[in-house]
Chain A
Amino acid sequence: MSAVTGGGAAAPVPPTVDPEAPRSQPVRGRETWGSRITGFLSKGVVSVVLALVAVFWLVPTFGLFIASLRSAQDNTASGWWNALTTPAQLTIQNYRDLLANEGMVNAFFNTVWITVPATLLVVVLASLASYAFAWMDFPGKDWLFIVIVGLLVVPVQVALIPVAGLFGDLGIYGSRISVILFHVAFGLPFAVFLLRNFFAGIPKELLEAARMDGAGEWRIFRSVVMPLGLPAIASLGIFQFLWVWNDMLVALVFADSSAAPLTVALQSQARQFGSNIDVLATGAFLSLVVPLVVFFSFQRYFEQGVLAGSVK
């Protein structure tokens, strides 16, 4: 269940249930204000309340979407909801402009070229390390894993300045590689934590059977653990993908303007908020669409990743 419990991504362990948990001692006929409230909360009321909440949750994103379909003049003159009564305002011109905007298109591809390698690298490095933590024997194993658990919550702020200096010395400061490396480093503790817990849950017999067949560690890793660990790897991949795709701070520090991803390109636009809402709303939507597609396609894995690693 919790981040730090065992159980892996695909099989979140239920929270520990305390058998001594206080049983209620209800008194018949005694009406408290609380009981009256719950009594009132019949199904219909609950439905209405939840429907209102759902609208409340949808309207902001929907508003931005409509705003991205209106011209800059319309947006500076009136609110997006005016387009609901005058649909003639809707246009895809903003998106055309955005796709013709070299800076934004470049930024979009920077996002892709940062996110994909950073995700793959984390998956590969973490799988290797997690296998060692789960199934191999080496001195200091428990302590090293506790270090990993500790690193889960380290704020990036404590590393930005030294790593910037290091990358400067290596001559990669400002490049996409520097952003990728930093993301890999800060994605690893969570990744190792998640995968190790899942790998450890693979039945021992399967590994032993492979060993009997004379398979070495590398082969067991590749042909037994990796295929069986796929659900956890999927969770991790999605999580890391979204984390890197959505990041702004790391890229803001490490990427120069030619390597800047969409988030950084958009934040510089946000400085003059209002006059350029057409670029901002459209760009924000462009950066939103990929995570949303990932979210809806792999929602189950995403949820499992959240459940398994809630401390990040």
Chain B
Amino acid sequence: MTEARPGGGAPPARAAARAREGRWLAWLFLAPAGLVLLALVLWPIVYSIWRSLFDRSGQAFIGLGNYQRIFTDPDTFTALKNNLIWVLVAPALVTVLGLIFAVLTERVRWGTAFKLIVFMPMAISFLAAGIIFRVVYDQDPAKGVANAIITSVHDVFSSSSQYPGARPRDADAMPATDAGGFASVETIQPGSTILLPLVGVEAGTLPDEPQAAQPPAEAAGDQVTGTVWFDFTRGGGGVPGEIDDTEFALPGVTVQAVQDGEVVAEATTDDQGLFVLEGLDPGDVQITLPAGNFAQPFRGVSWLGPSLVTPAIIGAYVWMWAGFAMVLIGAGLAAIPRDALEAARIDGANEWQVFRHITVPLLAPVLTVVLVTMIINVLKIFDLVYIIAPGSSAQAANVIAVQMWAVSFGGAQDFGLGSALGVFLFLLVLPAMLFNIRRFRQEQQ
């Protein structure tokens, strides 16, 4: 209000009056927004810093004690570690995907529709996205689409086993092999029969209408015949190792004959548990039950288990934000002078060289902005983690923002530690803030 004004006399005085009035008016225009920002953003930052130096109840001054706790408390430390993973992985992934999508959409005619589809998740809430991905990541392959796809792909390449967990009755005569199957210790000669009693068969894996096991038929000279059955009589009784009347056959078990270390014959048991190994040369035969019979079925990936929960949530995050990166980078692409690209192409550059040496360097400012925006965003990540991580993995998925909420409002009421965590987050975004301010001032000049 006291800066020097040029000249003097009546007109300048009137101008000065007008300017004074203008300033007064300017403050009036600024006041509503200014007061709200002052009371609900600026003052709280200062207060939080102050409050973070006091204990839980706010009575005792403990200096940097709360900050020390951030790094020593195991829960908060997990949160820090996870936030680091988030910051290192998610922004880079989002930016790279956004770049790929933006470049590729320029090459197809339905690029606009594609953009709309990928951009759409940005309009929905983290909460809705969280619920969407809780369903996607459901552990049960019958319900979660992620595991449904993975298990069916897996089953194409390896058929699921018949009797997981089953084992021979006599572990000494037929011990487990390294591969997970079983092999007889003693060898037999072609023309003989063998009984292969199994135990530990889960009830649910038996056929719907199980048939009684039958004793094997006489074997021809180049054959080994036998029976595989569930050597267990319901309600007790029965003789171990013998086929009793009420014992069930195990169909579908693969049996192999091994001579001189090589599999020479293979057979699968029928409904009565019978098998016939044929075409055997005279000599010692070892009978094996390969691992494929007993492997646990593949139940899919435990997405939301403690070890994978953070990558799984990052996947949901990328789903939400790749469209954002794509749109920003796409706008950057549109602004690249076409003749620069054309000139390079005429010089004989192929598409990859154009992309690598022209497009990407020209996009560098946009890519930086996307990356910085994503880093800020990821540092504050809250809803997605809070919703997707099931109770059992909540600890493993913890991030700073969730921990801040949990200690201050989620029951613990520790406003000292909560303030410290809030200030800590604030400090983490400070470099981004300075980056923005520097950029802004550069643009102004």
Contact = CB atoms under 8 A, between A and B. Distances in A.
A, B assembled together: yes
Interface of A: 1-6, 12, 14-18, 21-28, 32, 34-35, 37-39, 41, 43, 46-47, 49-50, 53-54, 57-61, 63-64, 67, 75-81, 124-126, 128-129, 131-133, 136-139, 144, 146, 149-164, 166, 181-182, 184-186, 188-189, 192, 217-218, 221, 242, 245-249, 252-253, 263, 266-267, 270-271, 273, 277, 280-281, 284-285, 287-288, 291-292, 294-296, 299, 302-303, 306-307, 310-312
A1 B48 contact: no
A77 B143 CA distance: 8
Interface string B389-427: 011000000001100110011000001001101110110
A132 B26 contact: yes
A129 B26 CA distance: 8
Given A53-B118, A161-B408, A150 B36 contact: no
Q: Which residue among A15, A181, A288 has the maximum number of chain B CB atoms within 10 Å of its CB?
A: A15
Task: Bin the interface of chain B by size.
Answer: 35 or more
Given A155-B429, A273-B134, A292-B120, 20 more contacts: A1-B332, A1-B365, A5-B443, A24-B356, A26-B344, A26-B350, A46-B104, A49-B104, A60-B135, A124-B32, A125-B36, A137-B23, A154-B45, A161-B44, A188-B36, A270-B127, A288-B125, A291-B124, A302-B123, A306-B328
B26 A182 contact: no
Contacts of A136: 22-23, 25-26, 29
Interface string B118-156: 111111111110111111101000111100100000000
B335 A1 contact: yes
Q: Which residue among B22, B123, B429 has the maximum number of chain A CB atoms within 10 Å of its CB?
A: B123
Given A188-B37, A245-B125, A23 B366 contact: no
7 contacts: A1-B366, A17-B362, A24-B358, A125-B33, A158-B425, A246-B125, A287-B128
A136 B22 CA distance: 7
A280 B138 CA distance: 14
Interface of B: 1, 19, 22-23, 25-27, 29-30, 32-34, 36-37, 39-45, 47-48, 51, 101, 104-105, 107-108, 110, 113-114, 116-128, 130-136, 138, 142-145, 148, 319, 324, 327-328, 331-332, 334-337, 340, 343-344, 347-358, 361-366, 369-370, 372-373, 376, 379-380, 382-383, 386-387, 390-391, 400-401, 404-405, 408-409, 415, 418-419, 421-423, 425-426, 429, 432-433, 436-437, 439-441, 443-444
B436 A166 contact: no
Contacts of B422: 155, 157-161
A162 B334 CA distance: 45
Given A162-B47, A249-B382, A252-B405, A60 B125 contact: no
Nearest to B387: A270
B376 A153 contact: yes
A156 B405 CA distance: 11
Contacts of B336: 17
B413 to A, nearest CB: 10
A69 B104 CA distance: 35
Contacts of B104: 46, 49-50
Q: Which residue among A146, A156, A221, A280 has the maximum number of chain B CB atoms within 10 Å of its CB?
A: A156
Given A162-B44, A181-B36, A189-B37, A291 B369 contact: no
Contact of A37 (B43, B352, B362, B425): B352
Contacts of A131: 29
A128 B31 CA distance: 9
A150 B433 contact: yes
A249 B401 CA distance: 10
Q: Which residue among A3, A54, A310 has the maximum number of chain B CB atoms within 10 Å of its CB?
A: A310
The 4 closest A-B pairs by CB, nearest first: A14-B335, A246-B125, A24-B357, A185-B40
A14 to B, nearest CB: 3
A218 B113 CA distance: 43
A79 B144 contact: yes
A184 B39 CA distance: 12
A46 B19 CA distance: 61
A151 B43 CA distance: 12
Contacts of A242: 123
B40 A159 contact: yes
A129 B30 contact: yes
Q: Which residue among B1, B30, B144 has the maximum number of chain A CB atoms within 10 Å of its CB?
A: B30
B433 A153 contact: yes
Contacts of B44: 158-159, 161-163, 166
B127 A295 contact: no
